[in-house]
């Protein structure tokens, strides 16, 4: 786990004026954060600022300002009008394993003995609320406010999943927990908001804050509640209390990959912290840390609480995945099929240990929906290995110097016209705009696998006029190649041999090499298996293509149009006997001829086949939905991921790139990561590459 201490270590304030400025900045940031989440500071920056203020106050106790955020719930930024029956406190923070050790040692000194046991659970990134029940019926929901009084948000309770309107028993009790937007709820909320003309939420926390306080909206946004405490259920250790809350019908973190865990020692607790931190990217909700609590109620009661936080619990903060930075510009890049994609240029910012200078903006419509302007302060999000994305601007931070994003009027690469009829803009020349990129892609390992045809060689071939499209590769002669710079006899012979081998590649690889929009490696395997021959694919209309698992009517229309666009290229490839080798057919498993191909992710996005029914062809993996992750070893060590997926399908299974409830088998190699964690959470069978090789032994070789 990366250490947040490097980002949160206190700096030095050199003067009373610098201290006063720091306090004012922290107060403004806390006010924005606890009001609607649109803070000008990211979590790491705010934590570091408060620690700097604390350090100054320790050295100059006589200069402490009354509005300092230290020692106050919510940084003293918010107040409420409904008193809490018992103060609703915050948590103290630690930023490293060493600080956690020091905190635990201090707790044990206070107790005069070792802590009985620890409970470790995720620190959910949402808003703390208190839900009051009378005779088992929900009567009132409050925000934490300043800890002494909160804001009444009972009007929003119906939209909060996991917060039951009636408990399983007729108790007088107050549940305390966190309300948040899961990742799925956040995406849905922004889609709904933009459809109603509202701006997108900056990030899930601001979305939750705004939604809980909103009234009379013409649309509904669902949230989720996670209970972590209660008043009115005395005498229970923390783990027992969580189980009791679940039994009453409240939602808790139990059952997720980051489920609360009882640990006998602090070393075990630290191990669990590391496990939760490693799972962070795979969790369906955001966390900004891990909470460590004394599990025994006796330990909690003896330790007591301060004015701001309990002494028996602490938050081990993790590096923030949301950061605020400035949008410096937008670049427009042209892909191999002519798609013109915008990319955000950012003021460099460190997110989860990685310096981010670029982020995805998806398409022009996305920029307009989010209302972005050059110079905006923006929230940027990065989770695990996911490409960073700009979520929304902090509109209230604008100075008036911001400028509109300038959209291209002509293709930024070739200067020709742009087709703007779809959300994703495209050069009217299509693939012809990026011939080099198309050739490099087609020659790639998972397509035609033409060794020796990399970027430099592709540029040479195109600039020399020897190659204008994929079919030209198969007409190259030795004499032509020898005219290229740094191309000797041996290199020419090797490249020609690799091209000759590529001529016999199976249909699915040739089809994938075409770079048809709406297809990729997985979808190309499906199409090849469904139709069996290139001529049959070309003859298929949109209705026939829509029968292929995961395509659907809209994607089928795009593929038909793409096939018409490359008709001349396909004629030339056929004349060169390219694409005539047929992928081993897969027996259809349902009416309409659906194939037994992958049902998961296609080029990083869900392809819509999760709801498909039907099994697969006969074989050792018949009926299995298989995900392969991590580095392969043993007999599979030399196979690419695409080759392993092809192996799955030859064995009668369905290959997928994402773990879901339909997955039945995970092949977990070295450093399997979040997919293994999700599979364990769902109870999916997990095998090693060596065990998998035994299962499909008849297909190897």
**Measured distance CA(340)–CA(342) in Å, rounded:** 7
**What DSSP assignment string belongs to 647-693?**
HHHHTT-EEESS--TT--EEEE-BT-THHHHHHHHHT-EEE-HHHHH
Q: Which helix (H) or strand (E) holds 601?
A: strand 601-602
Burial profile 219-239: b = 16 or more Cβ within 10 angstroms, e = fewer: eebbbbbbbbbbbebeeebbb
Report the SS3 class of residue 97.
helix
Residue 492: both structure tokens together: 């020419």
- Residue 496 contacts residue 451 (beta carbons within 8 Å): no
Longest Cα–Cα distance of the chain, Å, equals 90
Residue 651: both structure tokens together: 């064995």
Choosing from 2, 72, 123, 323, which is the catalytic residue?
Answer: 123
Residue 552: both structure tokens together: 């659907």
Residues 6+ apart with CB under 8 A from 70: 50, 53, 54, 57, 64
- In terms of Cβ atoms closer than 10 Å to its own Cβ (0-12, 13-18, 19+), residue 283 is buried
Tell me, what DSSP letter sits at residue 142? E
Residues 6+ apart with CB under 8 A from 60: 16, 19
- In terms of Cβ atoms closer than 10 Å to its own Cβ (0-12, 13-18, 19+), residue 282 is buried
Q: Of 379, 28, 63, 374, whose CA–CA distance to 201 is shortest? A: 379
Could you identify the residue written with the tokens 């020349």? 429
* 661 flagged as catalytic: no
Residue 141: both structure tokens together: 């929901």
- Residue 617 contacts residue 565 (beta carbons within 8 Å): no
Q: Of 482, 673, 521, whose CA–CA distance to 600 is shortest? A: 521
Q: Positive or negative, the Cα torsion across 674, 680, 684, 685? A: positive
The alpha carbons of the chain give a radius of gyration, in whole angstroms, of 29
**Measured distance CA(336)–CA(19) in Å, rounded:** 54
Residue 529: both structure tokens together: 């298996």
**Measured distance CA(699)–CA(644) in Å, rounded:** 11
Q: Of 562, 563, 554, 556, whose CA–CA distance to 534 is shortest? A: 563
- Residue 205 contacts residue 186 (beta carbons within 8 Å): no
Q: Of 38, 548, 122, whose CA–CA distance to 322 is shortest? A: 38
Q: Tell me the β-bridge partners of 131.
A: 141, 175
Enzyme catalytic residues: 123
């Amino acid at each position: 786990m990366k250490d947040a201490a490097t980002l949160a270590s206190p700096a030095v304030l050199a003067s009373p004026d610098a201290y006063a400025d720091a306090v004012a900045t922290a107060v403004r940031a806390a006010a924005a954060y606890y009001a609607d989440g649109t803070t000008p500071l990211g979590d790491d920056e705010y934590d570091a600022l408060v620690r700097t203020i604390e350090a100054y106050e320790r050295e100059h106790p006589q200069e402490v300002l009354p509005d300092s955020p230290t020692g106050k719930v919510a940084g003293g930024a918010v107040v409420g009008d409904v008193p809490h029956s018992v103060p609703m406190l915050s948590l103290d923070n630690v930023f490293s394993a060493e600080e956690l050790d020091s905190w635990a040692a201090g707790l044990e000194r206070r107790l005069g003995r070792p802590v009985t046991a620890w409970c470790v659970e995720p620190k959910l990134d949402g808003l703390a609320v208190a839900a009051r029940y009378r005779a088992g019926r929900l009567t009132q929901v409050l925000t934490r406010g300043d800890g002494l009084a909160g804001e009444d948000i009972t009007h929003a309770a119906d939209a909060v999943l996991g917060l039951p309107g009636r408990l399983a028993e007729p108790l007088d009790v107050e549940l305390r927990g966190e309300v948040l937007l899961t990742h799925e709820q956040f995406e849905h909320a922004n889609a709904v908001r933009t459809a109603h003309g509202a701006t997108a939420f900056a990030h899930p926390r601001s979305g939750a804050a705004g939604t809980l306080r909103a009234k009379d909206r013409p649309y509904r946004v669902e949230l989720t509640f996670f209970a972590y405490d209660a008043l009115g259920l005395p005498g229970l250790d923390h783990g027992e209390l969580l189980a009791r809350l679940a039994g009453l019908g409240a939602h808790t973190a139990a059952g997720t990959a980051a489920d609360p865990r009882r640990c006998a020692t602090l070393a075990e607790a630290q191990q669990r912290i590391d496990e939760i931190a490693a799972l962070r990217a795979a969790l369906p909700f955001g966390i900004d840390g891990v909470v460590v609590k004394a599990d025994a109620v006796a330990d909690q009661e003896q330790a007591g609480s301060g004015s701001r936080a309990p002494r028996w619990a602490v938050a081990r903060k993790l590096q923030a995945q949301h950061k605020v930075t400035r949008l410096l510009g937008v670049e427009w890049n042209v892909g191999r099929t002519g798609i013109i994609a915008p990319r955000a240029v950012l003021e460099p910012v460190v997110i989860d240990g990685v310096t981010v200078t670029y982020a995805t903006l998806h398409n022009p419509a996305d920029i307009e929906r989010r209302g972005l302007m050059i110079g905006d302060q923006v929230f940027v999000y990065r989770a695990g290995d996911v490409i960073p994305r700009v979520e929304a601007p902090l509109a209230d931070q604008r100075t008036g110097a911001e400028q509109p994003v300038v959209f291209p009027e002509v293709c930024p690469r070739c200067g020709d016209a742009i087709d703007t009829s779809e959300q994703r803009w495209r050069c009217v020349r299509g693939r012809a705009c990026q011939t080099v990129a198309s050739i490099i892609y087609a020659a790639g390992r998972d397509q035609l696998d033409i060794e020796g045809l990399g970027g430099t060689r592709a540029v040479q071939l195109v600039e020399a006029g020897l190659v204008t499209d994929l079919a030209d590769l198969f007409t190259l002669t030795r004499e032509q190649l020898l005219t290229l710079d740094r191309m000797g006899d041996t290199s020419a012979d090797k490249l020609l041999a690799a091209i000759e081998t590529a001529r016999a590649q199976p249909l699915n690889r040739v089809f994938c090499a075409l770079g048809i929009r709406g297809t990729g490696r997985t979808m190309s395997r499906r199409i090849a298996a469904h139709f069996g021959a290139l001529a049959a694919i070309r003859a298929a209309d949109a209705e026939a293509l829509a029968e292929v698992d995961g395509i659907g009517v809209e994607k089928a229309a795009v593929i038909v149009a793409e096939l018409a666009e490359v008709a001349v290229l396909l004629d030339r490839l056929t004349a060169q006997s390219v694409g005539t080798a047929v992928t081993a057919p897969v027996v259809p498993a349902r009416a309409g001829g659906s194939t037994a191909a992958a049902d998961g992710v296609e080029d990083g996005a869900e392809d819509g086949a999760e709801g498909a029914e039907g099994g697969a062809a006969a074989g050792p993996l018949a009926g299995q939905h298989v995900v392969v992750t991590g580095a392969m070893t043993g007999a599979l060590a030399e196979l690419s991921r695409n080759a392993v997926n092809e192996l799955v399908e030859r064995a009668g299974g369905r290959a997928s790139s994402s773990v879901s409830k339909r997955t039945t088998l995970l092949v977990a190699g070295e450093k399997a990561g979040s997919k293994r964690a999700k599979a364990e959470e769902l109870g999916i069978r997990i095998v090693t590459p060596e065990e998998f090789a035994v299962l499909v032994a008849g297909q190897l070789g």
